[in-house]
Structure 1
């Protein structure tokens, strides 16, 4: 991979992923590779149809998806410099800048799901690697990320941190993290393969230091487990729909105002980091 730069910024509820790659090819050749459907089919994550003009229609379809594809609209088309378009609720802007005998390719992907950023970044990383192979005249052959690249981006963008929300009744800790294995695999890791029932003790995988558990109060395999805390509060683990790799983990804990939440945040962060590492090992 050529030298590159990847950054993430969030403002007004929207997140922008910016990725830069230096390519040893002139802008016109790069332009053709990112705008012509025959070239896009070899590296882009979907098949693309495009009316290459501002306001032109775009279509995106995944082979074998068995359902209609998504649509978009071209927002900029300035050959051979800028190609930008919407894709559902997302916006992608590709800019090509001459640099010596080659080009600097900059992608800015703007979206609403901040915690999906590691999935998007790892996906584009592999797509742009395939684009480089195409431009170099090589066979396009890029393996699927097994999770290592995703987790590296998650750490780079600091997406594993929790937050604390305060109210008149107390506080709520919240973590949201995209996982890289199927929900059933995550559930098996958390339960150590044991059956979990309401009223039963909580499997150790769902606990962390400084969170003395009461009995399980709600369970729905493999999507939800909640339990009461001693003497007050609740912990909820939810495995919701995620962004391609696996489920989206949403972990919350509530408690009274007189508890120290800093230690709890650190404890849960360590617990979820350990879980992510265990899933990679599997």
Structure 2
């Protein structure tokens, strides 16, 4: 069968095991036999894959991934499927990478399906694989690997394509009070950013040097849609929390957390809780924080990585 690249070259779905499946399809200028060499031979992999690879090319064979510059700890894997020159699959730590190669009129169509647990990290994975796969044709031609371009802009494009900028509204578990002992609701955003936590923190602080418990909340951590009291908790550069109010009445809490993320950036987890009394404010909180977080992400993406 002759493979044709679909109109949507990247998709994000839920796999059968409940994890996330990133599917990327790219047209290459070389026939499947040559692409297979790029996928399996260490000398070719070294030109485009993000690590050095040692692979026993058989089902159950061991795979070893060694990162050249210490970007992350070395990983082990296992080959799960081999069908030269059509299919190669192996584990990548806890993830699964499955490569499919189909002949096309002027070369091949390469499909990567990357299955993983960390859905908010999908844009980092997609921007990384997009950059890596772009090096396969030049490597097979004996040409230099092309520069990655604006990797931050690429990351943000994938965030939008996959809808990873959207927050959620959740009911708090029974017995978890939001305000005044009532059970309530929570707006939550988990957003991968393109800069490390220290840079994100400085950007949010603005002209404030060091926020303190009992002090004023820096404007970068607040939205004009909701009044707020003083800082209730702070641990630079990873945590800041405070209470919000409605007409002088306690409404709930806002909590900013910066945790370890994928790629080179921090993972933002922003939660805004409210009591049942203020259930009508859920949509306003969702919209206000979406715009606030996206403005932050845009400013960070404009900074060099």
Instruction: Specify the TM-score bucket, using the shorter chain as the normaliser.
Output: over 0.9
| Contact 1:130 1:142 (C-alpha < 8 Å) held by counterparts | no
Gaps of 5+ in 2: 175-182
Paired position in structure 1 for 2:190: 176
Bigger Cα displacement from structure 2, 94-103 vs 54-63: 94-103
- Mapped to 2, the partners of 1:101 and 1:129 lie a distance apart of 17
Counterpart position of 1:142: 147
For 1:245 and 1:215, locate their aligned partners in 2 and report how far apart those are by CA, in whole Å.
32
1:68 to 1:257, Cα distance in 2 relative to 1, 3 A: closer
Root-mean-square deviation (Å): 1.7
Check 1:245–1:144 CA distance in 2 against 1; reply closer, same or farther (3 A cut).
farther
Matched, 1:74 2:93: no
**What is residue 10 of structure 2 aligned with on the other side?**
6
| Structure-1-length-normalised TM-score | 0.95
The answer as to whether partners of 2:134 and 2:146 remain within 8 angstroms in 1 is no
Q: Give distance in 1, aligned partners of 2:204 and 2:218.
A: 7
Which residue pairs with 1:92 in the alignment? 97
Deviates more, 1:63-72 or 1:46-55: 63-72
Give 1:116-265 correspondences, 5 Å limit.
Answer: 116-143=121-148, 145-167=150-172, 168=174, 169-194=183-208, 195-230=210-245, 231-259=250-278, 260=280, 261-265=282-286
Count of paired positions: 281
* Structure 1, unpaired ranges of 5+: none
Aligned to 2:295: 274
User: Structure 1 residues 102 and 4, CA, compared in 2 at 3 Å: closer, same or farther?
Assistant: farther
State the distance in 2 between where 1:68 and 1:262 align.
Answer: 41
Shift of 1:68: 5.7
> Could you state the TM-score of these two structures normalised by the residue count of structure 2?
0.88
Classify the secondary structure of the residue corresponding to 1:41. Answer: helix
Distance 2:116 2:54 in 1: 21
Change (3 A) 1:104 1:205: same
Instruction: Measure how far apart 1:137 and its partner are.
Output: 3.0
